[in-house]
Chain A
Amino acid sequence: MYVAVKGGEKAIDNAHRLMAEERRGDPATPVLGLDQIMGQLGLAVDRVMTEGSIHDRELAALAIKQAQGDLVEAIFLLRAYRTTLPRFGCSEPLDTAAMAIRRRISSAFKDLPGGQVLGPTYDYTHRLLDFALAEGSEPDTAECADRPVEARMPRVADVLGHEGLIERNPVGDDPPGDLTRQPLGLPAGRDLRLQNLARGDEGFLLALAYSSQRGYGNTHPFAGEIRMGEVAVEFAPEELGFAIEIGEITVTECQMINQFKGSKDVPPQFTRGYGLAFGKGERKAMAMALVDRSLRAGELGEDAVAPAQDEEFVLMHSDNVEASGFVQHLKLPHYVDFQSELELIRRLRAANPDREAAE
C-alpha cells in the first residue's frame, strides 16, 4: 500500500547536516581560515564582492567558505545579507583619475603621460602548472621600482577629450537609481544599465561581449585604458553638508573606445563603453564595457539586431542569482502540472487511435 511521503522536515535537516559535513572535508586537514581565503583566493573574493554588490572582503570570504567555493552560491549568500542592510545614501562619484595606480595599460597609445604600468597580472604568464606551488613553495620577492608611479595619471578618455575626439559623459544632477530598491523599467538609463551590468554574471557578460566581437553587433572597440588601484570613497552626510572620506577600495576600471561614424547631428567621433569592478576584475570590467557600448546601439542610431545590443534581453537575463534560482526551481515538485499534461496527452492519443497504432 502506498504511503504518502512524509518526514520532509527531518529529511531537510539531515541533508543540511550532510552538506555541512562534506563542506568540512577531511577533519584531519586544518580548517580553512577566512584570512587564507581573503589573502590567497583574492580574485574569488573580488568577484563575489562585485556581483554580490557589497564591498566587504571578510563577508565575501565567509560566503565563499560557506558555499564551498561555489562563487554563484557565495554571491547569492552575500546578496541575501546585503538586502537586510539599511541604505544611507549614495557616495560621491569615485574619482578614478586620482587613483593610486597599481596597474594601468592602454592599447590605443604606445606611450602616454604616466606610462604603461603592468602591475600584478597573469597576462604573458605561460600557463604551465607550477608544481612547485603544490609543494608550498614561497615566491621570490618582487623588486620595487626605483621611483613610484606618477601621482596623477590622466585617463586616456580625458586625453582624447581635449581634442573633442571622444564623446563627453555629462555629469548628471539626478541621484542615480537603484535597481535593488526599484524594479527595473525599460528603457533603463545609463545609471541602471551600468548597475545591472556591474552586478551581472561575469560569464554571461563575457559571452555577450565575445559575440559582439564575432559579428553579432560589432562595436569596433579599442581597450582605451584599463586601470586598477585604490580610490577614496567619499560620502556627504546630510547633517554635515560636505563630503568626508569613509574609506579606500580597490577597483578595476575599463574605458573602451569605439568607432562611431557620426550622424546628422553629431560629427564622427569616438564613443565609449564603461566597465568597473571591485578589486582585480579585469575580465569582468572589459566585458562590461563592451556590452555597455553595444547596448547603446539604439541611442546612437545603430541597428540593434544582435543579442548584445538588445537591452531587454541583456538586462533581464544578466543576474546569476535570478537565473540560478529559476533554472534550479525545476527541481521543485511539478507533479500537479505534469499530471495535467499526462491527462491531456492520453486524451489526445485516445482521440486519434489510428495514428497511435501506426507508430
Chain B
Amino acid sequence: MTSAQGYNFAYLDEQTKRMIRRAILKAVAIPGYQVPFGSREMPLPYGWGTGGIQVTAAVIGPADTLKVIDQGADDTTNAVSIRRFFARTAGVATTERTADATVIQTRHRIPETPLAEGQILVYQVPIPEPLRWLEPRETETRKMHALADYGAMHVKLYEDIARFGRIATTYDYPVLVNGRYLMRPSPIPKFDNPKMHMNPALQLFGAGREKRIYAVPPYTDVKSLDFEDHPFEVQKWDEACAICGSTDSFLDEVVTDDKGGRMYVCSDTDHCTSRQIRREAAE
C-alpha cells in the first residue's frame, strides 16, 4: 500500500477532500440537486473524468477496492488510465469484478450486475445540467430548478413524439429524482435508467469542469420522464451477445467487415466474462 511520492493519499490534499465530502453530504441530503464545489485542476484533462476522479478521491480509503469502467468495459483506455491513477496515488486494490468492488467509477454505463448496499457508484459527468440544451444560461436554469419549472423539458419530449412518433432521446435521458429535481443521469443509455431507481448503492455524480456534484442516495425514487400514452421504454436487441449469449444486456455493435457484416457483444465486459466462466463451469 504505497502512494506516489510527494503526493497525498489519492492525490488530493485532505482539506480539498473535506470540501468535496461536504458537497457530497449536501448532495445526498438533497437528491438530484447540483451542488457547486471548488473543483480542482487535476492532472487529467477536463472532460476526461476529473469530476468523477475528485469524488472517488474524496470517498476512497485504503481498504477499498476500486473498479473503473468506460462504456461498460474495464479495458478501455481511459478506464485503464484512471484505474492506474488511483493504483499509483492511493495504492488501493483494483478489480474488474463488479461484485468485488466497493467503489466503482463509471463513464456512460451502469454495470449489468445489480449493485448492493455499501457499494458506491461514481459517475463521470460532462454536462450536469439537464436543461442546458433548452437554456444555455446557468443563471436561468438555476431559477428553473428552484421553481421546479420543468415544462420546457416536457415540451421538448412532446415535440419528439409529434415529429417522430416517439421520444428521440436515447442516452442522458432526463429523470426526476425523489419527485423533486430534474437530473441528468450522465450519458448512460436509457437502457440503464431503470437501474437507478431504488438502487441499494449510493450513486454520486461528479462534474469537474462544470464544478458540480449531485447524488442519488440508496433506495431513492428515480423516474424517467414520460407520458401516460407514451410510457418510457428501453432499447431491445433482436440479437444475443455473440460471446456469452446474453439476451438481456446492453449490446455493442461490432463491424466485422466492409460488406455490412455485424456482430453484437456485451458492452459490460465483466458481465460477459462472468457468464462465459459460468457456462464453461456448467459444461
A→B interface (CB under 8 Å): 2, 4-9, 11-12, 76, 79-80, 82-84, 86, 180-186, 312, 316, 321-322, 324-329, 332-337, 339-344, 347-348, 351
Contacts and interface: CB of A to CB of B under 8 A. Distances in A.
Contact of A2 (B77, B109, B242): B242
Given A312-B139, A351-B165, A340 B42 contact: no
A336 B168 contact: no
Nearest to B140: A312
B219 interface: no
Given A2-B263, A4-B265, A325-B47, 8 more contacts: A79-B41, A183-B38, A312-B137, A324-B46, A328-B45, A329-B45, A335-B252, A348-B164
B171 interface: yes
Contacts of B37: 183
B150 interface: no
B76 A326 contact: no
A337 B186 CA distance: 11
A332 B78 contact: yes
Nearest to A8: B80
A325 B164 contact: no
Contact of B76 (A84, A322, A333, A347): A333
A305 B59 CA distance: 44
Main SS of the interface on chain A?
helix
Contacts of B40: 83, 180
B274 interface: no
Interface string B41-53: 1110111101000
A4 B75 contact: yes
B54 to A, nearest CB: 11
Nearest to B251: A339
B223 interface: no
Contacts of B67: none
Nearest to B76: A333
B5 interface: no
A8 B253 contact: no
A324 B44 CA distance: 12
